[in-house]
Amino acid sequence: MLEHVPPIYTLCPVILYIAGLCVHRIYFHRLHQHPGPLLAKLTNWYAAYYTWQGTIHLKLREWHDAYGPIVRFGPNSISMNSPTAMAQIYSARANVRKDDAYSVMSASSHIPSTISCLDKGQHAAKRRILAQLFTPSALKGVEERVLSHIRTFCASLGESSQDGRATDMAVLSDYLTFDIISDLCYGQAFGLLQCTALRYIPNVISRISRRNAICFIQPAIQKYRLDRLFLAPISTQIRAFGRWIQQQQKEHPHKITPDFRSHLTTSTITHSGPDPRPLTNKEVWIELLQLVIAGSDTTAVALSAAVFHLCHHAAALARATAEVRTHFPTTVEAIRPGSPQLRRCTYLHACIHESLRLAPPVTGLAPRRVLEGGIQVDGVWLPAGIVLGCPIYAVQRDRTCFPAPDRYFPGRWEGVLDSSCKGEESDDMGEEERQQQRQKRSRMLSAFCPFSVGPRACVARRFAMDEITVTLARALFLYDLRLAGRENADTGTGAAGAAEYALKGWMTSGREGPVVYASPREGCSL
């Protein structure tokens, strides 16, 4: 009988269902009163499209500018753009948990890593173990291994300049950070700085980061396993990477020296049982893989961004270089993590902070699911079951916290970073002025969140900052840096014509360049 029915009528139920769903999502959904782009209210595919493009961080900022501090960017998803929302949503007391989408970040569908763990108790137990890797004494224990890779990085920077070649800092920074983290996790570095065999690995991680970002926005992609299509072009490389990891597991047990791997294999966990138990072999390898993914390209983006901003701002570059060379008058080897002279390089720290503010390695919104009972954020009531978060890129460009937010101005951090320092406060200031000064400082610090905030913030913040600061200081000590040609000066041009490090807003930011020449400083050798 159906063959006599014109095809359009057979589609009627589907059309009616879709029309009904659209009407419901626009007018009757429990988030209907919150503003946002129309298409975003209808489907997650809208934001997923911009995520795939790598522009979701720019779009979220644009939408916040257009609609205000609260934006509905998906049928069930809310973005809030304020430092106070950041503090409330990500605090230990907030009635939220990580969204189910985080499961995409673990190498196993049964065993979560610390970063992908949804259960608060289980997370706390795992986090306690990871935190031990990054205590000052644990970091001291791996310092020489980290420095050996930084030396190779600095040597590579000089070698290419000797041959008259410029260096792509995005590529070289990747090589450095992947070598450091693989050495500490597997007892064997990938060796990217020195040989070409495994140089496909940063590309694999970047693809995974892009896949993860899009699965965060559109969970249907993971549910129906469409994400496999995104990874298909690199399936051979993924398998080769897996084989390399398995090889380390078999071949190097005798190589265990104090590092992340040896620490995890000797750790015990106190969760889901009365007694502490050692981590299983699988748990150890899942944690290590997570550290490789979370601790490689994040730090690399921060490093290449810092060089980008310095090379585009001659006065800042000159001042940071002079500061390093004044505090370290004789040898580059004195530049070590936590050295008192390095701490005194306040302008260098300001440059790194300003760069992390403008070009955060994680630009996006870490999604949290509201639990039974709902949550009040910035005076707005949000019901259970919805997904919400704060977009780091937009929060760090908040106009009330950072005047001229798109401008690279390291000077704004002077006096803010050192808590004992009075900053711009002077003795002739009145109490009211002093108070304003303190408020300005606390506003800036509250909106600076490249490592996120609260109990799920980056566990390795100190380690990452040391890596970036020591590498940058050593590069400035040894070389005069400059951009290789005008064409590279425009890796991206942002608001108000300011040089903008063009980021792809995936899980970790994608980027290119800057391409620089590093001329050996006169009278100085490695």
Q: Which residues bind ligand HEM (CB under 6 A)?
A: 114-115, 127, 130, 181, 290-291, 294-295, 298-299, 302, 361-362, 366, 450-452, 456-460, 463-464
C-beta of 117 vs 166, nearer to ligand HEM: 117
Q: Which is nearer to ligand HEM, 101 or 324 (CB)?
A: 101
Closest approach, Cβ 295 to ligand HEM, in A, equals 3
Tell me how far CA of residue 134 lies from CA of 26, 123, 267, 269, 291, in angstroms: 47, 17, 14, 17, 12
Q: Which residue number, 358 or 464, has a Cβ lying nearer to ligand HEM? A: 464
The string of DSSP letters for 66-105 reads HH-SEEEEETTEEEE-SHHHHHHHTSTTSSEEE-GGGGGG
Q: Please state the closest distance from residue 301 (CB atom) to ligand HEM, in A.
A: 7
Q: Which residue is nearest to ligand HEM (CB)?
A: 295
User: Which residue has tokens 């949503």?
Assistant: 89
Phi-psi region at 4: left, alpha or beta (left = phi > 0; alpha = psi -120 to 50): alpha
Ramachandran angles phi, psi of 267, nearest 5°: -85, 155
Q: Given the complex with ligand HEM, which of 25 and 357 has the nearer CB atom? A: 357
Q: Which residue has the tokens 């800057």?
A: 514
With respect to ligand HEM, which residue has the nearer C-beta, 450 or 514? 450
Task: Output 181 or 307, the one with its CB closest to ligand HEM.
Answer: 181
Provide the minimum distance between the beta carbon of 460 and ligand HEM in the complex, in angstroms, as a whole number.
Answer: 3
Q: 263 or 456: whose CB is closer to ligand HEM?
A: 456
Nearer to ligand HEM, 14 or 92 (CB): 92
The alpha-carbon radius of gyration of the chain (Å, integer) is: 24
Nearer to ligand HEM, 320 or 366 (CB): 366
The token duo for 414 is 């002077």
Beta pairing partners, 377: 380
370: three-class secondary structure by DSSP:
strand
Q: How far is the CB of 486 from ligand HEM (least distance, A)?
A: 29
Least distance between ligand HEM and beta carbon 7 (Å): 46
Q: Which is nearer to ligand HEM, 267 or 452 (CB)?
A: 452
CB neighbour list of residue 191: distance below 8 Å, 6 or more residues apart: 179, 197, 198
The nearest distance, CB 118 to ligand HEM, in angstroms, is 11
Minimum distance from CB of 132 to ligand HEM (Å)?
A: 12
Query: How far from chain centre, in Å, is Cα 392?
Result: 9
- State the chain's maximal CA–CA distance in angstroms: 93
Q: Least distance in Å: CB of 121 to ligand HEM?
A: 13
* Shortest Å distance, C-beta 101 to ligand HEM: 10
CB of 497 to ligand HEM, least distance (A): 27
Minimum CB–partner distance for residue 139 and ligand HEM (Å): 11
Distance of alpha carbon 253 from alpha carbon 255, whole angstroms: 5
Q: Containing H/E element for 388? A: strand 387-389
Structure-block tokens of residue 224: 């129906």
> With respect to ligand HEM, which residue has the nearer C-beta, 166 or 475?
475
- Residues 338 and 346: their CA atoms lie apart, in Å, by 13
31 vs 465, beta carbon nearer ligand HEM: 465
Between CA 287 and CA 269 the distance in angstroms is 13
Quick one: tokens of 251? Answer: 């071949």
CA distance 115 to 102: 8
> What are φ and ψ of residue 77, in 5° steps?
-125, 135
Nearest to 138 by CA among 354, 460, 360: 460
Closest CA to 513 of 301, 247, 322, 219: 301
d(CA 53, CA 122) in angstroms, rounded, equals 35
Among residues 58, 351, 354, 306, the alpha carbon closest in space to that of 177 is found at 306
CB of 512 to ligand HEM, least distance (A): 18
Q: Is 512 helix (H, G, I), strand (E, B) or coil?
A: coil
